Amino acid sequence: MNEPNGSFRDNSGAVVRPPVAWALAVFAGVVLDAVFPLPFLPAAVPAGWLGALVFLTGLALLILAAATFRRAGTHIQTVQPTTAIVEAGPYRYSRNPIYIGMFLGLIGLALAFDSLWLLFMLVPFYFVIRYGVVAREEAYLERKFGDVYRAYKTRVRRWL
């Protein structure tokens, strides 16, 4: 997008920083669960262990994706300019592994705390990330990198 003076704004213009959106989704789920608990797992399911496994898998993916960005010398924060299209590591399989890690983290917490509310929070979190962050990132990257980004989009899926 262009600024009022006609210059190119060199960031995605995301409506919210993704970690803030994630924290708000977790907070809302925890508050709703405290007010009106909605467990969903059978008692025989080792919810804590299963949730921890899913959460840690998401965290590992997020850390790997962030480290891949750092090695490529580009910024992770949506308010900073992107300096390169990263196609290594998890970015060979998904254009958004950091956000997939966040989704897995939220699912892991829902399982660990046996909270259907936390699972429900995936819906608003998805819509905020998909339309308020990813759509803006994709438009920004296409404006900035043109055919390089369009070619990457044709080779690698948005999610999985």
Q: Per-residue confidence of the chain (160 residues) as pLDDT tens digits?
A: 444 445 568 889 999 999 999 999 999 999 999 999 999 999 999 999 999 999 999 999 999 999 999 999 998 888 899 999 999 999 999 999 999 999 999 999 999 999 999 999 999 999 999 999 999 999 999 999 999 999 999 999 999 9
| Model pLDDT for residues 53-83, shown as the tens digit of each residue | 999 999 999 999 999 999 999 988 888 999 9
Burial of 57 (0-12, 13-18, 19+ CB in 10 A): middle
Map out the domains of the chain as residue ranges: 18-155
- Cα distance between residue 30 and residue 125, in whole Å: 14
Q: How far is CA 158 from the centre of its chain?
A: 11
- 54 vs 50: CA distance, rounded Å: 6
| CA dist 146 → 77, 94, 153 (Å) | 21, 19, 11
